[in-house]
Amino acid sequence: MIDIVDLVKQFPGTVRPAVDRLTLSIPDGEVCVLIGPSGCGKTTTMRIINRMIEADAGIVRVGGRDIMQVDTVTLRRRIGYVIQHVGLFPHWTIAENVATVPRLLGWTEARTEARTDELLVMVGMDPSTYRDRFPRELSGGQKQRVGFARALAADPPLMLMDEPFGAIDPITRGRLQDEFLKILRALRKTIVFVTHDIDEAIKMGDRIAILKDGALLQYDTPERVLAEPANSFVSAFVGADRALKRLSPIACATVAVPFAGAAPAQSIDGTASLRDALALMLETGEDVLGVRSGDQWTGVVTLATIRARTVSHRPHESAPPISAP
């Protein structure tokens, strides 16, 4: 659990605080996305959590302990940190980069090598191919994978991710979001994730904190932020197409209904979002899609299901039952 209470930070020469009496709590194992316009205080807040910046007032507790009562080096070694431009050491191999923290912690060579190989496999990079390469030999997406593996090396309970996909092309970015989200969900890490992209926030976050001028305007699930914006600024920030955005956090598998008869002409993986399903329907002209889990059919999703989700204003309730075609 991360508890932030009345946090204040004002930089010299500025008119208003960068962080202005911010209070919020992040439950264990959840992804909290900090988002807002430039200068809203999201990155400052993140950097206060690992004491790269000292707050002027307020309290930050990580796992129940005030971070000001914890040695800075000890604190940072228990927090994974992933940034936009990765920051790999250029003259170290990939294996050496991933092993940075374990070696600082004095792990044995055998344990360090085993953990390095385990993490490279986890992020989809074959150790026999990549461990002895150098960062200059990798693509942007591959470097980001290595940065992520490095942040996980000592199995920290908390991870800070500062626009980790911001410098990557859209296709690679979407794929990495999907892959990293699966890993984070499986590992049950507590994540503070900074982005300026509302679509990324909706996709990655269990909760979204919308900031403006250092102050917290709304803190809730993506569904409720989209369905019930707290004020006109939040409404404008999430966009006029927020009805469509509400489809992004909903997996097809969660709303699929049983079907009888012939299988639909088109199908979609159950992990895909209803927004993906709508795009496929518009592309193919079909109003019913089969929903798959691997090679198994689990049901269908219909255009009526999607329509019900876009017009409903009760994000935490189930949509009305839809009859199978």
Instruction: Inform me whether the pLDDT recorded for 80 exceeds 60.
Output: yes
Question: Pairing between strand 215-220 and 267-269?
Answer: unpaired
| Rounded-to-integer distance, Cα 106 and Cα 236, Å | 50
Distance CA 221, CA 211 (A): 15
pLDDT value at position 324? 32
Residue 314 has pLDDT above 70, yes or no: no
- Is the pLDDT at 261 greater than 80? The verdict is no
Average of per-residue pLDDT across 250-260: 87
pLDDT in tens, 269-295: 998 888 889 889 988 988 899 999 888
Tell me the two tokens of residue 116: 């390095």
175, pLDDT greater than 60: yes
Q: Which of 190, 270, 282 is nearest to 244 (CA)?
A: 282
What is the average pLDDT across 109-138?
95
pLDDT band at residue 145 using 50, 70 and 90 as cut-offs:
very high
The pLDDT score that the predictor gives to residue 240 is: 67
Residue 210 burial (10 A CB sphere; 0-12, 13-18, 19+): buried
What is the mean pLDDT of the segment spanning 240-249?
Answer: 78
Q: State the average pLDDT over residues 67-74.
A: 93
SS3 state at 231: coil
pLDDT classification of 44: cutoffs 50, 70, 90 = very high
- Pairing type for strands 31-35 and 190-194 reads parallel
What pLDDT sits at residue 113? 95
Q: What is the mean pLDDT of residues 31-52?
A: 94
Where are the alpha helices (H) located in the chain, listed in sequence order? 42-49, 72-77, 94-98, 100-104, 109-122, 127-130, 140-152, 170-187, 198-204, 222-227, 232-238, 242-245, 252-255, 274-284, 303-311
- Name residue 116's amino acid: T
Distance CA 143, CA 169 (A): 13
Report the pLDDT value the prediction gives residue 312, as an integer from 0 to 100: 55
Interatomic CA distance for residues 22 and 24, integer angstroms? 7
**Predicted confidence band of residue 213 (pLDDT cuts 50, 70, 90):** very high
What is the model's pLDDT at position 322? 31
Least confident of 43-52, 165-174, 185-194, 281-290: 165-174
pTM of the model: 0.79
Judge contact between 101 and 77, C-beta under 8 A: yes
CB neighbours of residue 220 within 10 Å: 18
Task: Give the range among 112-116, 207-211, 308-312, 318-322 with minimum mean pLDDT.
Answer: 318-322
Give the residue-averaged pLDDT of 179-195.
Answer: 89
Averaged pLDDT of the chain: 88
- The phi, psi pair for 288, rounded to 5°, reads -140, 130
For the ranges 6-10, 90-94, 263-267, the lowest mean pLDDT is seen at: 263-267
